[in-house]
Amino acid sequence: MRILGIESSCDETAAAVVDAADGHPWQLRSSVVASQVEIHREWGGVVPELAARQHLRDICGVVDQALADARSSWTDIDAIAVTQGPGLVGSLLVGVSFAKAVGAARDIPVLPVHHLAGHIESLVLHNGELPYPAIVLVVSGGHTSLYHLPSPGVYRLVGRTRDDAAGEAYDKVAKLVGLGYPGGPIVDRRAARGNPHAINFPIPKLTHDDRNVGPQTHLPEGFGDALKRRADFSFSGLKTAVRRHVELATGGGTRALTETEIDDICASFQRVVIQTLLDRTFRAAEWFDARAIGIAGGVAANAGLRAAAEARGAAVGVPVFVPSVALATDNAAMIAAAGLRRWDAGDRGGSLDFNAEPGLVMLVE
Ligand code: KG4
Ligand code: ZN
């Protein structure tokens, strides 16, 4: 079984070929990512129209390269998995239209998959099947969501951010202290040189229900509202605290931050982010008697987060799984893996009537 994955939900055009021999382990044959970061850097963030146009330019070449790297031709491909959502609609449309066109022309089944199912399955692609039940934190530029996986391929949302995603907070803090875009990897490097206790930024706490409460989460029976809130995340207050600190330290912008001050701000900010992410993840692992913890998504590339998660996992005796850095940020290999998961569950694609869904909600089972 050989599947082609296609991903175009944000600012990376990606294609990958993954094999499954009698189930597991899944084998990565190729993974090609055309990043648009140079285009969006000028604007300090992703510009949706520019992203969609660049996907259109890149998609054919990226798929050809993925097939060539996998020493495959279209006749070797048994199915196509494509990101249906969530994401930017113009970007998603490029991948979805491409997949449907090839599916129709060559009579290959097309499986639409959820972007976050892809991030979750990147863990299995990289590490082999996880022990279940598992708790997986998906932490990226667009998402900070906690899932309970009672068994393979079943994803139950137990918490999510009420405002900014963690990666978004990294990008905004990088901007505030005058570092480049995207900020995550730069803040990560600067944090390693700074003092994480130099500044006492507040640990985000959700003490009241707010208007941003999203779809119903799946907490066990008998959990009260107070506990329910504790599985959610919030990063906008922390971002504001960093902004205030920078304003005060620079006298309202009348002097520049020193390199040491920048290192210390990055380290202190990162300490709070890591503690917030891991407190909730490990608490959820306790609730669900998890036998494994996974951390996926772009922020899972963070060296400080990886080290802290592994240390904490070792302390409580729960193994922590992360993907390789290449599989943590957006890629199509994870989308192919999520497609294989659905194939294993008996999904053979079918109608090409589906469309790109910018606000796609993940089905529970
Ligand atoms: O998963 P991803 O490639 O795209 C989304 O689905 O959002 O994640 C991109 C995000 C960006 O916000 C980027 O700054 C962040 O992941 N990121 C990092 C690191 N590498 C990427 N954040 C913290 N530390 C890193 N090393
Ligand atoms: Zn992503």
* pLDDT recorded at residue 341: 95
As for ligand 1, residues whose beta carbon falls within 6 Å of it are 10, 140-142, 167-168, 170-171, 182-185, 188, 297-299, 301-302, 329-330
Q: Do 168 and 77 belong together in one domain?
A: no
Closest Cα partner for 136 from 323, 1, 275, 270? 323
State pTM to two decimals.
0.94
The answer to whether position 293 is within a domain reads yes
**CATH number reported for the structural domain that contains residue 40 in this entry:** 3.30.420.40
Contacts of 222 (CB under 8 A, 6+ apart): none
Give the H or E element holding residue 253: none
CA distances from 167 to 186, 197, 236 (A): 12, 21, 12
Q: Do 69 and 155 belong together in one domain?
A: no
* pLDDT recorded at residue 198: 97
**Which of 36, 113, 170, 239 best tests ligand 1's pocket when mutated (most atoms within 8 Å of CB)?**
170
Q: Which atom of ligand 1 is nearest to the CA of 329?
A: 3
Strands 320-321 and 292-296: parallel
Residue 308: phi and psi, rounded to 5, are: -65, -40
* pLDDT recorded at residue 86: 95
Q: Do 109 and 203 belong together in one domain?
A: no
Q: Do 205 and 262 belong together in one domain?
A: yes
Chain Cα centroid distance, residue 240: 23
* pLDDT recorded at residue 230: 63
Give the H or E element holding residue 350: none
Q: Do 149 and 272 belong together in one domain?
A: yes
The answer to whether position 359 is within a domain reads no
Residue 95: phi and psi, rounded to 5, are: -65, -45
Yes or no: say if 324 and 337 are a contact pair by the CB < 8 Å rule.
Answer: no
What the block records as the tokens of 154 is 């079943």
Q: Which atom of ligand 1 is nearest to the CA of 304?
A: 24
> What is the mean pLDDT of each successive set of 10 residues along the chain, which is 365 residues long?
96 96 83 92 88 95 98 97 96 98 97 97 97 97 94 93 94 94 94 97 72 60 61 91 96 94 98 96 94 97 97 98 97 98 92 92 65
* pLDDT recorded at residue 181: 86
Q: Do 106 and 137 belong together in one domain?
A: no
How many structural domains does the chain have?
2
Q: Do 160 and 295 belong together in one domain?
A: yes
The answer to whether position 165 is within a domain reads yes
* pLDDT recorded at residue 215: 57
Q: Do 232 and 333 belong together in one domain?
A: no
Distance 71 CA to ligand 2 centre (A): 27
The answer to whether position 265 is within a domain reads yes
Chain Cα centroid distance, residue 118: 9
* pLDDT recorded at residue 216: 60
Q: Do 309 and 334 belong together in one domain?
A: no
Closest ligand to 301 CA?
A: 1
Q: Do 210 and 181 belong together in one domain?
A: yes
| DSSP letter assigned to residue 137 | E
Q: How many CA atoms lie within 13 A of 164 on its CB side?
A: 16
The answer to whether position 324 is within a domain reads no
The answer to whether position 124 is within a domain reads no
* pLDDT recorded at residue 220: 67
- The residues whose Cβ lies within 5 A of ligand 2, an ion, are 140, 330
Q: Do 45 and 137 belong together in one domain?
A: no
The answer to whether position 183 is within a domain reads yes
Q: Looking only at Cα atoms, what is the longest distance across the chain? A: 65
The vertex-166 CA angle with 162 and 170, nearest 5°, equals: 135
What the block records as the tokens of 90 is 């113009």
Domain carrying residue 251: 132-318
Q: Do 146 and 81 belong together in one domain?
A: no
Strands 134-139 and 26-35: unpaired
Closest Cα partner for 274 from 186, 184, 209, 214? 184
The answer to whether position 360 is within a domain reads no
